[in-house]
Amino acid sequence: MAGENGTSDTAGPSQQPVIDSKQDSEKGKSKDESKNTVPFYKLFTFADSVDRLLMTLGTVGATANGVAMPLMIVIMGDLIDAFGQNSDQTVVDEVSKVALRFVYLAVGTFAVAFLQVTCWMVTGERQAARIRSLYLKTILRQDISFFDKETNTGEVVGRMSGDTVLIQDAMGEKVGQFIQLMATFIAGFVIAFVNGWLLTVVMLSSIPPVVFGGALMATAIGKTASRGQAAYAAAATVVEQTIGSIRTVASFTGEKQAVTKFNQSLMKAYKNTVQEGFASGFGLGFLFLVIFCSYGLAVWYGGRLVLDKGYTGGDVMTVIFSVLTGSMSLGQASPSLTAFAAGKAAAFKMFETIERQPEIDAYDTSGKQLDDIRGDIELRGVCFSYPARPDEPIFNGFTLSIPSGTTAALVGQSGSGKSTVISLIERFYDPQSGEVLIDGVNLKEFQLKWIRQKIGLVSQEPVLFTCSIKENIAYGKEGATDEEIKAAAELANAAKFIDKLPQGLDTMVGEHGTQLSGGQKQRVAIARAILKDPRILLLDEATSALDSESERIVQEALDRIMINRTTVIVAHRLSTIRNADVIAVIHQGKIVEKGSHAELTSDPEGAYSQLIRLQEINKFMKGFSADAKKMYEKASQVANDAVGSIRTVASFCAEEKVMELYQKKCEGPIKTGIRQGIISGISFGLSFFLLFSVYATSFYAGGRFVEDGKASASDVFRVFFALTMAAIALTQSSSLAPDSGKGKASAASIFAILDRKSKIDPSDESGMTLENVKGEVEFHHVSFKYPTRPDVQIFRKLRLTIHSGKTVALVGESGSGKSTVISLLQRFYDPDSGHITLDGMEIQKLQVKWLRQQMGLVSQEPVLFNDTIRANIAYGKGGDATEAEIIAAAELANAHKFISSLQHGYDTIVGERGVQLSGGQKQRVAIARAIVKNPKILLLDEATSALDAESEKVVQDALDRVMVDRTTIVVAHRLSTIKGADMIAVVKNGVIEEKGKHETLLKKGGAYASLVALHTRASTS
């Protein structure tokens, strides 16, 4: 969590608020974007000695290869004279001598062409890989405010996979090609002047128009490339947000909206590409016009020179072809120039980031390191506001002292600033004034990495990475042994459920931990924090997501590990904080009351007592459970995870760990790139070798034909030039092989996705829709396993009937499959056998999109999109809700008041995954989003578990209001919600163990009664 009062992507202190002048900034942006490039030599900043050697060899090879073409023309001139000045009898001897020179040229060219391509491709691959990992390394070392203001996950991943490809293109084989072409240009003109300066001067008149056309083309292309990239970065962000929150998108049938938004960015990029294509096309056409005109001029004037100035035919042809080859090579340099322009633009933003020095630097090794710390914490006169919302102060002279080894609990309403205290102790931010002290030393004086290793953080929405459970726990400590990991899992009460999983500790956790239930995720996160045996423990709502049974055991585990540690708890739940040495009640950034539980409850009018009363109305707290492009995708996933969860990475000092993981994943692609460089080099060299060998053979054979009177000299040349043109075309096409290879691989992976038929397709318009939905839901003998875990049976022939307009509560242990009921009803998955009906109609026969529009989902960890609050609420209605509907929904969800109090109101940007809002605020926006489409069926998956007592009461009132006349399925939270349900169903071992009303089930004394008893014990202990 970003802190209760979070931060947003609006303006920082140095900028004016973004929202007021969106149009102006768009214009300004596009102007800047076309200028933002780095000088070319800067691309090679990160080359090491091996790269320098490779670049030197590559340059030598490219230069020699460039000179080969003009040399061939000199030999050709000699050949023409050999044919023209000898009688038919002597012609074979003369021609053979010249033909041998072609063979020598062929051998030499093979070697240098190989060097040119291989050296440049390999060094390009190496340097790009280095830039990629440096970029990620720098991103990971930035302070948290950088992420609040400057960047988002989609952009980082887009730059790592997309922009480095462009940079690699600009510093790899294209450089070799450019040097080769320049060498051809210079050598061509040197040879032309030596062989006949007069004709050369006349032919030079064609150069200025060629160069002029080329220059125009390059500038136009460079400008559009830069703009296109900005558009692609925006598109990447849309994709990352949509795919990362696919359940939310599906539930609100937002697929169309995402596609529309994505297409808008693509249209921008498309228009730029069209302009780029137009510029290239025009340039090429103009080039050929000039070339053919100069042919005519040269042949006519050459004839005059043979008659008047004693030139031989060979001289004239050598000059014409040398000038021609020289000028052509200038024209061919344009793709290289395009690549350089694109690479320079791509490097600008990446290098700017790589050079950025963060104010709070995790890699900074200076600063104090003591033998150990006692763990005294003090905040002294702290003034603080989030960098992204500098004019909304959170603390103004806040002071709090927590002696070593004691437990302090911070309580207060949602948004009061409780979690901000934790962000300041972790040094995610520095206060604007005042100081944060540990053992009397200002936090800024410690070495950041060292002090963070002394602090363990467990937060309410634990972030797990896309790797195994074992690797997730190991994040807590460099080089942890298997024994330590097992012990930590044991302590966090996670060992039991991990052992049950088919792969145990090696079970993979899905993106953001989606393969585990809420309670399981939280226990893994606690194990991760315990592993580093911290002196200071920060628990930010650490147990709010657990069902009573797990909560009790985890609480015991926490009690065990809290001994002799300074612990700071942010909590709503009384059971957690009752035993704290000191409880501080925070209200609007001030401590309004402080003391032990007993002291504070002795004043019945105090703030703490009022909070308690509110909670007791709520029947204690909640009861049950809470729940090269393709080649670099895996590596990008590591980056994506790390950047999306930067707070977790920072608090565990896991920057180096992420880098190791990333580099491991990159090794394969780099090796492949180097192999490809060598193969391309061989084939490129071979094409030249064959070309010149064919010349030698064909002229020798031609000489023989002339000698035997089977052909005239002019026939030989006619045939030869026809062949040459064909061969040159082939040579050029082989240099495009690497590009076409990349293209084919990318296209194959895209087509594989395009051809994939989705079993459950929201864009499929077929299927029935019902006139008026009553909301009668029935599960008939439903069996189900998750496709990713086919050996864990979730439901065994489950039967459940939910009558129209009634409220059904599902309860059960963490991982029992309560939330799965909701996933199946929304058709995120289809059951393996059995079926589900809505108003008696099988849901598989209904139109998917229509079905999902009949339901409003509010889940425990609501996903908000990085957009305005207004847009997030309107999302519930496909984006086209009226202002009145949005405000009505916000009022129903008790969100209107807090939204109006924000500086930009409904135009406040919520930040990536909603980090700019506190948990309670986020949840209310999510409820407004679900209500705005006026659904027939309401799905509440732990909807109020993240709220403090006061908001919870008001939101619960709001939910009670919106539940009227709707079929409601509640995945069990607090007792207060469940008690009033028309039916309570206990899910256990894949079936409904028992069902009925609260009182009936209590009397029965079965599974429900023991859950309630457990829960009541946990709450009152």
Q: What is the residue extent of each domain of the chain?
A: 48-357+651-752, 377-621, 762-854+978-1021
Degrees, nearest 5: CA angle 481-484-486? 110
What percentage of the chain has pLDDT greater than the value 90? 20
- The pLDDT assigned to 103 comes to 92
Report how far residue 583's alpha carbon sits from residue 611's, in angstroms, rounded to the nearest whole number. 12
List, for residues 455-470, the tens digit of each pLDDT value. 888 877 777 777 789 9
- The pLDDT assigned to 691 comes to 80
Q: Which residues pair with 802 in a beta bridge?
A: 777
Tell me the pLDDT band of 16, cut-offs 50, 70 and 90.
Answer: very low
- The pLDDT assigned to 976 comes to 62
Sign of CA dihedral 950, 952, 953, 955: positive
- The pLDDT assigned to 634 comes to 63
DSSP label of 858: E
976 vs 909, residue with greater confidence = 909
Report DSSP letters for 167-214, one per residue: HHHHHTHHHHHHHHHHHHHHHHHHHHHHH-HHHHHHHHTTHHHHHHHH
Question: Per the structure block, which two tokens stand in for 606?
Answer: 């105090």
Tell me the pLDDT band of 782, cut-offs 50, 70 and 90.
Answer: very high
Backbone angles phi, psi at 80, to 5 degrees: -60, -45
List, for residues 647-688, the tens digit of each pLDDT value. 666 666 667 767 777 777 778 778 888 888 899 899 989 988
List, for residues 473-526, the tens digit of each pLDDT value. 888 787 889 899 998 888 888 888 888 888 888 888 876 555 787 778 888 888
List, for residues 833-891, the tens digit of each pLDDT value. 999 999 999 999 999 888 988 888 888 777 788 889 998 898 888 778 899 999 999 98
List, for residues 409-454, the tens digit of each pLDDT value. 998 777 778 888 998 998 989 999 999 999 999 999 999 888 888 8
Tell me the pLDDT band of 23, cut-offs 50, 70 and 90.
Answer: very low
Question: Per the structure block, which two tokens stand in for 577?
Answer: 């904080």
Question: For residue 885, is it left (φ>0), alpha (ψ between -120 and 50) or beta?
Answer: alpha
Tell me the pLDDT band of 181, cut-offs 50, 70 and 90.
Answer: very high
Residue 172 has pLDDT above 70, yes or no: yes
Residue 392, Cα to own-chain centre: how many angstroms? 30
The CATH code belonging to domain 762-854+978-1021 is: 3.40.50.300
- Whole-number Cα distances in Å, 81 to 95, 105, 308, 315, 713: 9, 19, 18, 9, 11
Architecture of domain 48-357+651-752: Up-down Bundle (1.20)
Residue 149 has pLDDT above 80, yes or no: no
Asked which of 222-226, 262-266, 481-485, 1016-1020 is least confident by mean pLDDT, the reply is: 1016-1020
Question: For residue 905, is it left (φ>0), alpha (ψ between -120 and 50) or beta?
Answer: left
What percentage of the chain has pLDDT greater than the value 70? 86
Residues contacting residue 685 through CB under 8 Å, at least 6 positions apart: 109, 110, 111, 112, 113, 114, 117
Asked which of 564-578, 585-599, 683-697, 790-804 is least confident by mean pLDDT, the reply is: 564-578
Question: Per the structure block, which two tokens stand in for 745?
Answer: 């691989």
Residue 951 has pLDDT above 70, yes or no: no
- The pLDDT assigned to 55 comes to 95
Residue type, 696: A
- The pLDDT assigned to 27 comes to 39
Report how far residue 476's alpha carbon sits from residue 167's, in angstroms, rounded to the nearest whole number. 35
Report how far residue 542's alpha carbon sits from residue 459's, in angstroms, rounded to the nearest whole number. 5
- Whole-number Cα distances in Å, 537 to 268, 540, 654: 49, 10, 17
Residues contacting residue 675 through CB under 8 Å, at least 6 positions apart: none
List, for residues 196-251, the tens digit of each pLDDT value. 899 999 888 877 877 777 777 777 777 777 788 888 888 888 888 788 778 777 78
Which one, of 957, 891, 952, 948, lies nearest residue 925 by Cα?
A: 891
- The pLDDT assigned to 445 comes to 92
Tell me the pLDDT band of 721, cut-offs 50, 70 and 90.
Answer: confident
291 vs 289, residue with greater confidence = 289
List, for residues 968-991, the tens digit of each pLDDT value. 999 875 566 677 789 999 888 888
- The pLDDT assigned to 945 comes to 67
Tell me the pLDDT band of 402, cut-offs 50, 70 and 90.
Answer: very high
Residue 3 has pLDDT above 50, yes or no: no
User: How many residues does this entry show for the chain?
Assistant: 1021
Residues contacting residue 843 through CB under 8 Å, at least 6 positions apart: 825, 827, 835, 836, 837, 851
Candidate CATH numbers 3.30.450.40, 3.40.50.300, 3.20.20.70, 3.40.640.10; the one for domain 377-621:
3.40.50.300
Question: Which letter, b or e, does each residue of 591-621 get, where b requires 16 or more Cβ atoms within 10 Å of its Cβ?
Answer: bebbbebeebeeeeebbbbebbebbeebbbb
- Calculate Rg over the CA atoms of the chain: 36
- The pLDDT assigned to 432 comes to 92
- The pLDDT assigned to 740 comes to 78
Degrees, nearest 5: CA angle 553-559-563? 155
Residue 19 has pLDDT above 50, yes or no: no
H or E segment and range at residue 314: helix 313-332
Report DSSP letters for 617-628, one per residue: HTTSSB-S----
Could you give the strand order of the β-sheet that contains 807-811, starting from the edge strand earlier in sequence? 855-859, 937-941, 967-971, 807-811, 983-988, 991-996
Residue 636 has pLDDT above 70, yes or no: no
Average confidence score pLDDT of the chain: 81
Question: Per the structure block, which two tokens stand in for 196?
Answer: 């006949």
- The pLDDT assigned to 31 comes to 39
Could you give the strand order of the β-sheet that contains 433-438, starting from the edge strand earlier in sequence? 395-402, 377-384, 433-438, 441-442
Report how far residue 889's alpha carbon sits from residue 649's, in angstroms, rounded to the nearest whole number. 36
List, for residues 59-109, the tens digit of each pLDDT value. 999 999 999 999 999 998 888 888 887 777 788 888 888 889 999 999 999
Do the domains spanning 48-357+651-752 and 762-854+978-1021 agree at the CATH topology level? no
Strands 833-838 and 793-802: unpaired
Residue tagged 């998750």 (tokens): 786
Residue tagged 């069926």 (tokens): 937
